[in-house]
Chain A
Amino acid sequence: MQPLLISHISVVNSLGSGVEAMRRALREKRSGLVPCDFETARVDTYVGAVPALDDFRVKPDLLDYDCRNNRLAQLCLEQDGFAGKVAAAREDYGAERIGFYLGTSTSGLHATELAYRHRDPKTGALPAGYRYAETQNAYSLGEFVRRYLGLAGPGFVVSSACSSTAKAFGNAARMITAGICDAAVVGGADSLCLMTLYGFHSLGLTSPGPCRPFDADRDGISIGEGAGFALIEKADRAQSGAILLLGVGESSDAYHMSTPHPEGLGARLAMQQALDSAGLKPSDIDYINLHGTATKTNDASEDKAVFEIFGPETPCSSTKGATGHLLGAAGITEAIVSILAIESGLMPGSANTRSVDPAMKSNYLLENRQAKVTCALTNSFGFGGSNCSLVLGVAE
């Protein structure tokens, strides 16, 4: 594929608000995971929450869209001068030439969960103030962000579970390359809700403590909430040192709805395609940010897939011990971790992991490592066997 410029980024999660807060937390190997006290949830697990959301409201002219997920999106658009950078791009290209390809897994579902608790006892009707289109529908995030940023180009929301915001990079790359738009906003948000806490718990996939990716004693995920955005433009605008999207790989497991392929077949296909589309060899990759959810099955199958392609040398780690599993927002967040690795040479060690499972064969980082990172690969895999890998690099 033709490389594309990633000109601006913003991020929010339990590690803090803004790129610098995240960079500092990763450098300190800090974890944002705390015992779950989300709303009325009684699930024995840890979460990566963004407490600022509880008292946050979306801006007055978009109040119809007020829900935890869109609050999170707005909080993120307000970080790192991101909305201002998009406004400048809008002046430059025209609003109708900027597309938006965003991802979320559960959108404003928590609004529906609350509405179901307040149904009319006689008719069963949802409360009058319930707004389906502006909260529950998967496109709610897309329309909210579009309106907030004043974009008028073609856009949509990808909702392919935990690969959603990684796959959005692929949509943006294709649309820009095909001339459908000149620039695109990618990213998205996923916020805490009861469905994912109780749902993952019912599958036996939530850890009672903070999650420990690749640990011999790993026992499940910690759910987190977070958002991230990136502005993508054509690479002819890239100056030396700018961050580039070099490759995208997408595949399906064709195996099971909620269990990854045991040999990591779909993961391997996605990584290989990402390398092929970037025109790179495995040895060109300096760091891999893994999906690394800390479930028994994900980490084992991902390790097999990574080892198969990259062998025992390439440093890799999961940052989910720090952020928790941000579900639909994991892809953009971990793309940003990979961008930080390229910018600062920081390959983050795995927060909360005590000792690496001896069955793992890839070069998993327990401690931070400082080294030059020219190219990084990041993995995002989801329910339904939906896999996506991205290759990020730097302009010469």
Chain B
Amino acid sequence: MRVFVEGVGLLGPGLQGWEAARRVLAGEEPFRSASTVIGSSELLPPAERRRTPVPVKLAIAVGQEAFHGAGRDAAATATVFTSSSGEGETLHQMCETLASAEREVSPTRFHNSVHNAAAGYWSIATRSREASTSLCAYDASFTAGLLEAVTQVASWGKPVALIAYDQPYPEPLHSARPLLGSFGVALVLGPEPTRRASAMFELAVLPGDEKPSRMSDSRLEELRCGVPAARALPLLEALARSTEGNVVLDFPTETRLRISVSRC
């Protein structure tokens, strides 16, 4: 299965947008870790911006950057959302309320608690009625999302956007599932080598326990291991450096996803 990368969106610690981050990932500028800055998207109605959960804002921000780069209409594009952590802050608040005597649950918080909250807000914000799914595969959530997105492009012959995101949990959940930082990545993937396409991915699912690709920079490698969505970093590095070669992503099973990256 092959797809063409038309647009990239990225937000992570010290990786503030794809345009800035690609120079870091290409080795042209040093990596300086800093808190991820997640702005409010003008896609959301002003009244919604303040109460929109942070993971949703993160997903929308990277999605928007990728569509901007691809020059595609988000309303006409199917989406695959994938996240290991989902809506952590909302989960925490709900569980606190449910552990209290009154159990006065907020209805808005409840509908924001679903794993597909980001997908729902995205669909409303972009007016997209296309298919959208929301996946989880623990540490392999990015691998799962990429496989599903590429399979959709192959099945439907239409572009699909992949949006992977993870936002650290507040305590006490953070101690049970520590995540290193906020990280979101989006890829608009198309079936044809359009003018905007910068690279081609050729995917293969292989049995075996080959080691997943790593980052040579130790701090970026720490980030890759510390946030499930950041498992995308070796693939992003290949895009930033315009190198050709294989990137290996892992599943929890002895199954690997091999992505052969080439320029186009």
CB within 8 Å of B: which residues of A? 1, 42, 96, 105, 109, 112-113, 116-117, 119, 123-126, 130, 132-133, 137-139, 142-143, 146, 151-161, 167, 170-171, 174-175, 177-178, 180, 194-195, 198-204, 250-258, 265-266, 269, 382-386
Contact = CB atoms under 8 A, between A and B. Distances in A.
Given A203-B107, A252-B119, A383-B116, A160 B134 contact: yes
B152 A252 contact: no
Contact of B1 (A125, A178, A258): A178
A159 B154 contact: no
A6 to B, nearest CB: 19
B154 A178 contact: yes
B171 A124 contact: yes
A53 to B, nearest CB: 19
Interface string B111-133: 11111110111011011111111
B110 A200 contact: yes
Given A178-B151, A178-B155, A198-B105, A156 B129 contact: no
Contacts of A202: 104-107, 110
A251 B251 contact: no
B134 A146 contact: no
Contacts of A105: 114-115
Contacts of A251: 129-131
B136 A161 contact: no
Contacts of B175: 125-126
Nearest to A193: B98
Contact of A174 (B116, B127, B151, B255): B151
A160 B173 contact: no
B48 to A, nearest CB: 10
B133 A257 contact: no
A174 B140 CA distance: 19
Interface stretch (B11-19, B88-96, B186-194, B215-223): B88-96
A64 B220 CA distance: 32
Nearest to B137: A156
Contact of B110 (A177, A203, A252, A254): A203
A137 B138 contact: yes
B252 interface: yes
9 contacts: A96-B255, A109-B91, A143-B252, A195-B94, A195-B95, A202-B104, A203-B110, A252-B123, A386-B119
A266 B136 contact: no
Contacts of B177: 132-133, 137
Given A138-B86, A383-B120, A171 B148 contact: yes
B155 A119 contact: no
B190 to A, nearest CB: 17
B176 A198 contact: no
Chain B interface extent, by class: 35 or more
Given A160-B114, A194-B98, 7 more contacts: A126-B172, A142-B137, A154-B255, A202-B107, A382-B114, A383-B116, A385-B124
A123 B175 CA distance: 11
Contacts of A383: 111, 114, 116, 120
Contacts of A156: 82, 135-137, 140-141, 144, 148
A388 to B, nearest CB: 9
B105 A199 contact: yes
B129 A252 contact: yes
Given A126-B172, A126-B175, A151-B253, A174 B134 contact: no
Contacts of B123: 252-254, 384-385
A143 B138 CA distance: 9
Contacts of A256: 124
B253 A154 contact: yes
A195 to B, nearest CB: 6
Contacts of A269: 129
A42 B102 CA distance: 10
B99 interface: yes
The 8 closest A-B pairs by CB, nearest first: A384-B120, A199-B110, A159-B115, A250-B131, A156-B144, A138-B136, A252-B123, A156-B137
A269 B130 CA distance: 9
B150 to A, nearest CB: 9
Contacts of B32: none
B94 to A, nearest CB: 6
Nearest to B176: A132
Contacts of A154: 144, 147, 205, 251, 253, 255, 257
Contacts of A258: 107, 110-111
Contact of B96 (A116, A157, A170, A386): A116
B119 A116 contact: no
Interface in B142-194: 144, 147-148, 151-152, 154-155, 171-173, 175-177
B207 interface: yes
A94 B140 CA distance: 22
Contacts of A204: 107
A381 B116 CA distance: 13
B5 to A, nearest CB: 19
B136 A139 contact: yes
A160 B133 contact: yes
A180 B103 contact: no
B149 to A, nearest CB: 11
Contacts of B73: none
B84 interface: yes
Contacts of B110: 195, 198-200, 202-203, 258
